[in-house]
């Protein structure tokens, strides 16, 4: 699906108080950005922000950063954030950046959990390294996660999920904690689940949702 460009998106993103524009200058200093020493969690490719904002509202004791590479998509998350339901959240910040820059923005061990929700499957084999669960990205996540930190991944794409399981099983420094091929019928893994826009859409069609949780050793 072609991404629709919104002409004023860049200016809104750059001027919004919750967007950190000098992210690389905050590497190793995110506790100062939030003004507290609470644990830090990141959602990469947060889309319109439903998962991030609802999760942050339910867990004020944790700080959250939403990363989105496209300003036109980030704009929609900011519009949601600015609603009465979420505008008082103090434990959320946003970054407009690509996941490949992760290590330039976060220091080793600076975050305790990374969320990947319905990432682009990049179905062609020649694009496999672009998948956010590929071995190259797993290496990046391992370096910014604290020991014992977790990676949570959800998708409706079976091929991507099978690929992701194989990448984790073959990667150094990772242990598979749990996985399911039917999240919404798995009582243990579905406990406390917050659905994304895509998750609600696909599950309403009867599509199974896949989820895995991996631990950084």
pLDDT surpassing 80 at residue 3: no
Ligand-binding site membership of 198 (annotated): yes
Burial class (CB in 10 A: 0-12, 13-18, 19+), 189: buried
Residue 58 lies inside a defined structural domain of this protein: yes
Q: What is the pTM of this model?
A: 0.95
Residue with tokens 């073959």: 170
- Residue 1, pLDDT score: 41
The domain tally of the chain equals: 1
Within-domain flag for 11:
no
Query: HSE on the CB side for 126, CA within 13 Å?
Result: 0
Q: How far apart are the first and last CA of the chain?
A: 37
Residue 4 pLDDT level (bands cut at 50, 70, 90)? low
Confidence of residue 197 (pLDDT cuts 50, 70, 90): very high
Is 182 in the active site?
no
| pLDDT 10s digits, 10-43 | 889 999 999 999 999 999 999 999 999 999 999 9
Residue 171 belongs to some domain of the structure: yes
> What share of the chain has pLDDT > 70, as a percent?
97
Q: Find all residues with CB under 8 Å of 34, minimum gap 6, and list them.
A: 40, 63, 90, 91, 93
The reply to whether 68 sits in an annotated binding site is yes
Please state, in angstroms and rounded to a whole number, the distance separating the CA atoms of residues 27 and 31. Answer: 10
Which two three-digit tokens encode residue 44? 């990469």
Digit-coded pLDDT (tens) for 44-89: 999 999 999 999 999 999 999 999 999 999 999 999 999 999 999 9
Q: Which of 37, 82, 88, 120 is catalytic?
A: 120
What is the model's pLDDT at position 6? 77
**Domain presence at residue 174:** yes
Q: Is the pLDDT of residue 2 over 50?
A: no
Asked, for residue 50, whether it belongs to a domain, the answer is: yes
Separation between Cα atoms, residue 160 and residue 157, nearest integer Å: 5
Average pLDDT over residues 110-128: 96
**197: annotated binding-site residue?**
yes
Residue 123 included in any domain? yes
Per-residue pLDDT, averaged over 91-103, amounts to 97
The CATH number of whichever domain residue 108 belongs to comes to 3.40.50.150
Strands (E), 83-191: 92-96, 111-117, 145-155, 174-180
Determine if residue 169 is labeled as part of a ligand binding site: no
Query: What domain range is 176 assigned to?
Result: 39-216
Helix (H, G, I), strand (E, B) or coil at 46: coil
Report the number of secondary-structure helices (H) and strands (E) in the chain: 9, 7
96 is a domain residue: yes
Tell me what pLDDT residue 26 has. 97
Residue at 197 is within a domain: yes
């Amino acid at each position: 699906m072609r991404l629709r460009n919104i002409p004023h998106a860049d200016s809104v993103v750059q001027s919004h108080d919750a967007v950190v524009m000098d992210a690389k200058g905050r590497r190793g200093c995110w506790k100062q950005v939030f003004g507290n020493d609470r644990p830090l969690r990141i959602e990469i490719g947060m889309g319109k922000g439903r998962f991030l904002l609802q999760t942050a509202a339910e867990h004020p004791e944790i700080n959250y950063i939403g990363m989105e590479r496209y300003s036109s998509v980030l704009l929609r998350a900011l519009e949601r954030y600015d609603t009465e339901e979420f505008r008082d959240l103090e434990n959320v910040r946003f970054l407009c950046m690509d996941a490949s820059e992760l290590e330039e923005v976060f220091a080793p061990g600076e975050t305790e959990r990374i969320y990947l929700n319905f990432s682009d499957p990049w179905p062609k084999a020649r694009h496999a390294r672009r998948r956010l669960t590929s071995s190259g990205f797993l290496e990046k996540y391992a370096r910014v996660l604290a020991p014992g930190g977790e990676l949570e991944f959800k998708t409706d794409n079976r091929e991507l999920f099978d690929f992701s399981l194989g990448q984790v099983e073959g990667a150094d420094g990772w242990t598979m904690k749990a996985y399911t091929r039917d999240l919404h019928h798995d009582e243990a893994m579905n406990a406390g689940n917050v659905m994304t826009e895509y998750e609600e859409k696909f599950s309403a069609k009867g599509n199974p949702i896949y989820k895995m949780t991996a631990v950084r050793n």
